[in-house]
């Protein structure tokens, strides 16, 4: 009897949710605005488009899943379209193309968020090879789509025909539409209007009032990293699983970020089982303690730069069994190298060395840093550490000779994104559940006004490059001979030019065909 009651209640609840969703299905209006156009829709076309709108809402569960993806990715799509002067309304096209599934593949072998074929992807500067597939990267693929649409609109002079050209190509759109819509600002949609545009309008109407509505508290975070580095290594730094990073970085072939600077995506909050760095009591909210300027002269503030403590034969610190680091056997790195070479030099097995220092095999040994050859402790000699700008959980654990897992556990903090300058971390006693981490306001370093060349270790965050003033130098004319295995994309990257320019300079068609031994003209800026 109880089971029957539960089943009936579940059924009524499901019906109530379904009815609630169906009750809010938007209706197709007789007129709407799209990009810079006024779109008038005939009654027959309204009914036709309404069927597609209704289809989006037919399955409430699937609709919510899609809505969640839209709210996750759409801020990045909007940003990339805006940066290239493409109307924001075009963002609904990515929903139509892939449902925002990063590795979606069509029957014609179009791939990714914006469903690019390889040749078209390379035309707009996307990288497609065994290591990187930019079509599965929401930022780069959206930028490529914006370039593609902007180029077609400049030729067709109408955003409706430019949008349809996304499905049939520029040549196809010119043949289909001719010049009848060029420069027009009022469009009438009727039974004869191209199906692709009517399908787009259905997606715009279905989702334009849903974007930004609460579905979950997940937030997509972008972090620039310097490769080569594996997603397994990054997952450790970010406090998420490797599977999590693979899910949101399907552009990275084989779970590896290759050499160069790339953006990695991960979820900051929501479905991840994590606790905030600064917790609040469930009963009464706590204010984060703030220390005054006078307290900055306390020993805990001054000790930040007094570790690690080195003793022993410091003249031979780069040799094993010569020094101790925080009373643990250690060694100084005399040069930057890989962990396997360094561990061989100091007479340790690589796996043991990595385990002792909470490292992964693809991380670099840095010149002037101290590394442990003995197991680190679970607690430090001192009670607290004041977090300074630029520090990470790993660097703090190395500074005091404390295991990384112990440091995270004591402070209920799991990743560097939750670490803030001025935090007073516990190094001995675990922090109580709900206890706020105190923060001492400290001065941030003043920005440098001189130009410097910075090197970044693999896996570390990379600062945003500052825009340079445009050069007025005359382009240098270079002749490149195509070698075996080269592609237009590889050649464009080699000389720092776009695939589109490379094709234009050499009259290469849309199939991107080049042959071994072919001479290509390159105008290098």
CATH number at residue 229: 3.10.350
Q: How confident is the model at residue 151 (pLDDT cuts 50, 70, 90)?
A: very high
Task: Give the CATH number for residue 83.
Answer: 1.10.530.10
Given a cut of 50, is residue 106 above it in pLDDT? yes
pLDDT of residue 237: 86
Q: Same domain for 248 and 327?
A: no
* pLDDT 10s digits, 491-520: 877 887 877 777 777 766 555 667 677 778
Higher pLDDT, 158 or 268: 158
Q: Same domain for 53 and 181?
A: yes
Q: Same domain for 347 and 250?
A: no
Q: Same domain for 231 and 165?
A: no
The CA distance from 135 to 301, in Å, is 48
Higher pLDDT, 221 or 461: 221
Task: Give the CATH number for residue 306.
Answer: 3.10.350.10
Residues 34-52 have a mean pLDDT of 93
Sequence-distant (6+) residues with CB within 8 A of 126 are: 116, 134, 135, 140, 141, 144, 489
Given a cut of 50, is residue 176 above it in pLDDT? yes
Q: Same domain for 246 and 382?
A: no
- Of 282-291, 397-406, 469-478, the range with the highest mean pLDDT is 397-406
Number of folded domains that form the chain: 4
C-alpha distances out from residue 327 to 56, 93, 332, Å:
65, 61, 14
Given a cut of 70, is residue 343 above it in pLDDT? yes
4 is a domain residue: no
Tally Cβ neighbours within 10 Å of residue 516: 10
The residue range of the domain holding 387 is: 293-426
pLDDT of residue 11: 45
Higher pLDDT, 14 or 514: 514
Q: How confident is the model at residue 142 (pLDDT cuts 50, 70, 90)?
A: very high
Given a cut of 70, is residue 465 above it in pLDDT? no
Asked if residue 308 has a cis previous peptide bond (ω within 30° of 0), the answer is yes
* pLDDT 10s digits, 398-427: 989 999 999 998 998 888 888 888 888 998
Q: Same domain for 77 and 194?
A: yes
316 is a domain residue: yes
Q: Same domain for 55 and 112?
A: yes
Residue by residue, DSSP assigns 252-309 as: BGGGEEEEEEEEEEEE-SSSS----SS---SSS--PPPB--GGGGGSHHHHGGGS-S-
Q: How confident is the model at residue 140 (pLDDT cuts 50, 70, 90)?
A: very high
Q: Same domain for 30 and 133?
A: yes
Sequence-distant (6+) residues with CB within 8 A of 284 are: none
Q: Same domain for 59 and 36?
A: yes
Pick the closest to residue 142 from 129, 156, 128, 125 (CA basis): 125
Residues 394-398 have a mean pLDDT of 91
Q: Same domain for 190 and 228?
A: no
54 is a domain residue: yes
pLDDT of residue 493: 73
Residues 287-311 have a mean pLDDT of 53
Residues 4-13 have a mean pLDDT of 46
181 is a domain residue: yes
Q: How confident is the model at residue 335 (pLDDT cuts 50, 70, 90)?
A: confident
Question: What percentage of residues in the chain have a pLDDT greater than 70?
Answer: 78
Minimum mean pLDDT among 157-161, 313-317, 318-322, 469-473: which range? 469-473
Residues 243-256 have a mean pLDDT of 92
Q: How confident is the model at residue 366 (pLDDT cuts 50, 70, 90)?
A: confident
Tally Cβ neighbours within 10 Å of residue 495: 16
Pick the closest to residue 62 from 25, 98, 94, 99 (CA basis): 99
320 is a domain residue: yes
Q: Same domain for 28 and 130?
A: yes
435 is a domain residue: no
pLDDT of residue 2: 42
- E strand intervals along 126-255: 186-189, 220-230
| Last residue of one domain, picked from the residues 397, 426, 455 | 426
Question: Using CA atoms in the order 83, 89, 91, 92, what is the torsion angle rounded to 10 degrees?
Answer: 180
432 is a domain residue: no
Q: Same domain for 256 and 367?
A: no
The CA distance from 43 to 190, in Å, is 8
406 is a domain residue: yes
Minimum mean pLDDT among 293-297, 299-303, 371-375: which range? 293-297
Whether the CB-CB separation of 359 and 368 falls below 8 Å is answered with no
Question: What pTM value is reported for the model?
Answer: 0.53
Given a cut of 50, is residue 52 above it in pLDDT? yes
Given a cut of 80, is residue 328 above it in pLDDT? yes
- Give exposure, 313-334, as e/b (b: 16+ Cβ within 10 Å): eeeebeeeebbbbbebbbbbbe
């Amino acid at each position: 009897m109880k089971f029957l009651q539960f089943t009936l209640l579940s059924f009524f609840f499901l019906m109530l949710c379904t009815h609630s969703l169906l009750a809010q299905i938007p209706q197709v209006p007789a007129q709407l605005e799209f990009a810079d156009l006024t779109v008038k829709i005939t009654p027959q076309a309204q009914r036709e488009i309404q069927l597609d709108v209704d289809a989006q809402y037919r399955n409430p569960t699937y609709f919510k899943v899609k809505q969640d993806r839209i709210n996750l990715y759409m801020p990045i799509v909007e940003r990339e379209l805006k940066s290239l002067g493409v109307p924001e309304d075009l963002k609904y096209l990515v929903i139509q193309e892939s449902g925002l599934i990063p590795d979606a593949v069509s029957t014609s072998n179009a791939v990714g968020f914006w469903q690019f074929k390889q040749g078209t992807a390379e035309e707009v500067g996307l990288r497609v090879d065994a290591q990187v597939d930019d079509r599965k990267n929401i930022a780069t693929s959206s930028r490529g789509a914006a370039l593609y649409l902007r180029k077609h609109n400049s030729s067709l002079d109408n955003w409706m025909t430019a949008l349809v050209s996304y499905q049939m190509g520029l040549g196809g759109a010119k043949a289909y539409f001719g010049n009848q819509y060029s420069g027009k600002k009022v469009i009438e949609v009727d039974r004869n209007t191209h199906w692709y545009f009517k399908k787009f309008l259905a997606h715009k109407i279905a989702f334009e009032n849903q974007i930004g509505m609460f579905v979950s508290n997940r937030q997509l975070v972008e972090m620039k990293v310097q490769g080569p580095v594996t997603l397994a290594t990054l997952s450790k730094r970010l406090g998420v699983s490797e599977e999590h990073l693979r899910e949101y970085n399907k552009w990275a072939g084989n779970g590896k970020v290759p050499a160069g600077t790339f953006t990695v995506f991960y979820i900051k909050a929501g479905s991840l089982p994590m606790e905030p760095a600064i917790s609040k009591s469930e009963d009464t909210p706590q204010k984060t303690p703030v220390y005054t300027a006078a307290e900055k002269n306390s020993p805990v503030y001054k000790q930040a730069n007094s570790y690690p403590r080195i003793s022993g034969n410091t003249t031979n610190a780069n040799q094993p069994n010569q020094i101790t680091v925080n009373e643990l056997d250690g060694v100084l790195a005399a040069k930057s190298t890989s962990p396997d070479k360094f561990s061989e030099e100091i007479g340790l097995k690589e796996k043991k060395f990595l385990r002792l220092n909470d490292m992964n095999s693809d991380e670099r040994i840095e010149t002037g840093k101290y590394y442990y050859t003995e197991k680190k402790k679970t607690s430090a000699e001192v009670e607290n550490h004041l977090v300074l700008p630029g520090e990470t959980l790993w660097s703090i654990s190395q500074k005091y000779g404390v295991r990384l897992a112990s440091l995270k556990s004591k402070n209920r903090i799991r990743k560097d994104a939750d670490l803030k300058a001025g935090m007073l971390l516990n190094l001995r006693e675990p922090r109580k559940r709900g206890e706020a981490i105190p923060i001492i306001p400290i001065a941030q370093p003043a920005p440098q006004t001189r130009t410097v060349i910075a090197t970044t270790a693999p896996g570390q965050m990379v600062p945003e490059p500052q825009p340079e003033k445009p050069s007025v130098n005359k382009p240098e004319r270079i002749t490149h001979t195509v070698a075996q295995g080269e592609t237009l994309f590889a050649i464009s990257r080699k000389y720092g030019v776009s695939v589109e320019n490379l094709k234009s300079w050499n009259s290469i068609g849309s199939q991107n065909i080049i042959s071994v031994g072919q001479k290509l003209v390159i105008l290098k800026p």
